[in-house]
Structure formats: structure tokens, C-alpha cells
Amino acid sequence: MSNNARLEYAGKSYEFPVKKGTENELAIDIKTMRSATGMITIDPGYKNTGSCESAITFLDGEKGILRYRGYSIEELAEKADFLEVAYLLIFGELPNQEELDKFHNDIKGESHVDEEMKKILDGFPKSAHPMGVLTSLTSALIAFNPSSVNVTSEKDMYWAIVRILAKFPVLVSWTLRKKKGLPLDYGDDTLGYVENIHKMMFKRPNHKYEKNKVVIDALDKLLILHADHEQNCSTSTVRMVGSSHAGLFASLSAGIAALWGPLHGGANQAVLEMLEAIEADGGDTKKYMNKAKDKEDPFRLMGFGHRVYKNFDPRAKIIKKAADEVLGDLGVEDPILEIAKGLEKEALNDEYFVDRKLYPNVDFYSGIIYRALGIPTEMFTVMFALGRLPGWIAQWREMRLRNEPIGRPRQVYIGHPSREFVALDKR
């Protein structure tokens, strides 16, 4: 039997090869479709369209499976740390101690951010949303790191990657500290990568920085869980912008902007705001469930549903368990957690959600932990971006090393047919 897919149209028959992935996913390769048939496909939101072949992350939405370079998210969250996972995603293998030490030392060596960048940060009002500040600062970094723009060799890509992994956490901490009116900090190269991030964000002036293993471990695990997720909206944006060879920092700046949306990474902030509204409303979860099901009401149950997962998001399961552990270890009593659990329980027994296979996603419980760690709600999506940074980098690097063509989709035109120009005095 031919391994091709056949298309019959207007009395003609066309065949297209079928690709099979590592986990036996099948894809019809339509590279020759327009030249062979004169037709294109159309698929708003790309729900059925693959943009690339990738060796980085595997998701199975039906079974709730997530693997980075073949390793399960459950194992990595338990046994690895975030910098190891970043190395794995970007370079394809778990590093040995020597490779990890070199990677970390190279990052430490590049953690300086030009003082002039502070003038750009100072230009923002305190009311500016941190995601808007960060997408701007990431793009502004280009001006101070021109050698990281037109990178074509693997060596130049490596140093551009090291620079952004070093500098982005500084920008994140500066954005938070500016909002809080705290002096900007450079952190401490004697600390671990995530520990240093936490210190840069939270060290208070005139106070000794107190290491808290529970907090650092929770942060490390959350960053791992957010590190990559194949061709989601923001990653596809990074690949699209990168495909024009606009450079790594510009591609990442675009990815941060895409992640900001409440349907994507912005959902973790929207979930907390929704849970707080329910709490303020006397915990009336039924009312919000009904709003979510009402087609006339634009309200959605934030943190629920997913384009790929039609089962539990494996990350949500890990984060829900971690929320209990972290709040317990920190002695934090947060009624919001119980409201979230009540909402989940109701939704999982509600026909509307069950029929549409709407389960809690990565954003449903993450904000509860961030809040317990002292991270302000407006910074939740920034923490998502901090976690997703290595994934965006890995996907950008894969796309560039494979010399993928510039992304340029086609369209079906539904506007006016040709018509004559009408002079202004005749309209």
C-alpha cells in the first residue's frame, strides 16, 4: 500500500507523502501542493497544521505526556535543576558536571547589563506592566550587544545564547525592583543560577540575603515546568521572527509580547485575579462556572482548557501537588488554593467542561505558588517568560541551524474584486 495521502478534486487525483514522527505521529507533507494542484490549505489558528519538524519537545495531548529531548517532565522536575534542563533543551543532551560548570561560568561572565539600560528602564512609569517593560528591554539589549545580532555560526550563536541567559534574569529583577522602588541589584556569582535570580529579585537593602531552600527548590521546579512546550503561540512567534534572521534578542522580544496575552502566558495572572474575584464574591464558584458556560458572557474559566491537552496538563498535576507542599513548608494558609481546588472539582464533574475536555492547565495553580513565594501578581507572566526562555532559545537555534525558510503563510482573499479609482470630488 502506498505511503502517500491522496487528494481527489475536480476529477483529478493528487498524492502527497506522509511523514511519521518518532512517536508515530503522521503528517501529510504538502510542500508541493500549490504547484501541483493550484490550491492551498487554510487552518485558522493552525489547529491541524504542523509548522516544522522538531527534536526538542514531545507532547501527547490525549495521554497528557510531556517530554524534553525524550526525558519525562516528571523526572526532570524531580531530578534535574533548571540550568541543566536549559542546557538539555538547547544542546540536546543532559550536561556532565564539566559541561554544566563551563556553561554556568560562561553565563556568569556575561551577567553585566550596560548601565545605560537603566535610563531606558527609568523612562517607564511605575504603572507599566512588567511584560511590556521586558519586551522593550530585551529588544533594547540588541543595541548594547551588536555582535549577538547577525549570528550564523554555532560559536556566535552560543555566545548570544549565553548573553541572554545571563542578562535576562537581571532585567527581570530590575523590572520588579523598579516597581517596588528598590535599588537595582546585580546578584552574586557565588550562587546557583536560580538562587541568584531569587536574590536579585528579593534581596532587601541593608538586610543579609537569607537562603530559603523551599523557595529556591519551588522556583527551580516551576521554571523547569515552563521551559518548553513545542509550537505554542509564543514559540511559534520566536521561530517566525527568527526565520527572517532578525536575530535572537529581537525574536525573544517578540515571543515575550506573544506570551503576554491572557489566552497564553498571561493566563496565570488572569487566574489569580479570577480566584480573588470569586473569593471577594463570597467564594461563589457556581456563579463563575455558569458565566464560563454562558456563550453570551465573554468570561472564560482562566487556567482551564488547552489547544493540545485534552486530558490533564501533566504540569498542572505537578504544580498542584507542589502548591500543597510549598504552602505547607512556608506555613502559608491561602484560601485561594481551596477555591481553586473547589473550582477544579466542580468543572471535572460538569458536562460542559467534560464534553469539551477542558482540564486545568499549567497556569491554573502556578500563581498560587508564585504568590506564596512573594512574587507580585503582575510578575507571574514574567516568571513564565523566565522559565520559557531556554525553550524559545532551543527552538530558535534549531530553526536557524536547520536553515528553515522564512515563514510566509498564504491566504484566501475575500475582499473586493478589481475596481476603478473614484476621484475625491466624485465620492
Interface with ligand SDX (CB under 6 A), residue from 200, 316, 358, 394: 358
Specify whether the CB–CB gap between 275 and 26 falls below 8 A.
no
Catalytic status, residue 363: yes
Q: b/e per residue, 18-39, with b = 16+ CB within 10 A?
A: eeeeeeeeebeebeebeeeeee
Packed helices 314-330 and 335-347: angle between N→C axes, nearest 10 degrees: 150
Q: Is residue 300 part of the contact set for ligand SDX (CB under 6 A)?
A: yes
Identify the residue among 104, 167, 229, 397 touching ligand SDX (CB under 6 A): 229
**Which residues, in sequence order, are CB contacts of 318 under 8 Å at separation 6+?**
73, 74, 77, 221, 225
Strand partners, 12: 9
* Candidate list 81, 104, 306, 350, residue with the active-site label: 306
Confirm or reject binding of residue 277 to ligand SDX (CB under 6 A): no
Q: Which region, judged by CB under 6 A, interacts with ligand SDX, from 7-15, 162-170, 264-272, 398-406?
A: 264-272
Nearest distance, CB of residue 80 and ligand SDX, angstroms: 18
Q: How many residues bind ligand SDX (CB under 6 A)?
A: 22
Helix 380-401 crosses helix 233-242 at what angle (to 10 degrees)? 40
Encoded one letter per residue, x for contact with ligand SDX by CB under 6 A and - for no contact, window 38-77 reads -------x--------------------------------
By CB under 6 A, which span of 98-106, 205-213, 305-313, 331-339 interacts with ligand SDX?
305-313
- Of 131, 106, 398, 132, which Cα lies nearest the Cα of 248? 398
Q: For residue 73, with 0-12 CB atoms within 10 Å meaning exposed, 13-18 middle and 19 or more buried, which class applies? A: buried
DSSP conformation class of 196: H
Residue 292 binds ligand SDX, judged by CB under 6 A: yes
Distance in Å, CB of 306 to ligand SDX, minimum: 5
Tally helices (H) and strands (E) across the chain. 18, 6
Q: Tell me the residue nearest to ligand SDX as measured from the CB.
A: 305
Q: Is 188 a catalytic residue?
A: no
Residues that bind ligand SDX (CB under 6 A): 45, 229, 232, 263-265, 267, 292, 300-308, 356, 358, 361-363
Q: Which residues participate in catalysis according to the annotation?
A: 306, 363
